[in-house]
Amino acid sequence: MNLPDNVNVDSNETSQKAVVSFSCNDGYTLSGPSSMLCTSSGVWNNTHVQVVLLMPTAKVH
């Protein structure tokens, strides 16, 4: 499983039916699913994890 920078995964488990969940470093958010399942055929059900940089909110004076 290849993951983009700034993504954290809660497990290194790769057995069938394993579920891994993702989170992002501060200042980033996930775009799309936040978890993957290793199917009974041994492939991940979702291979597209995207990270989006959050833009800082401008302060109004």
What range does the domain containing 26 cover? Answer: 7-53
Q: What is the pLDDT of residue 56?
A: 65
Q: Is residue 61 part of a domain?
A: no
Q: What is the pTM of this model?
A: 0.70
Give the pLDDT confidence score for residue 24 in this predicted structure.
92
| pLDDT attached to residue 54 | 86
pLDDT score recorded for residue 17: 92
How many domains would you assign to the chain? 1
Nearest-angstrom CA–CA distance, 19 and 6: 20
Q: Average pLDDT for consecutive 10-residue bins of the chain (61 residues)?
A: 84 90 91 90 86 73 62
Is the residue at 42 inside a domain? yes
pLDDT value, residue 61: 62
- In a domain, residue 19? The reply is yes
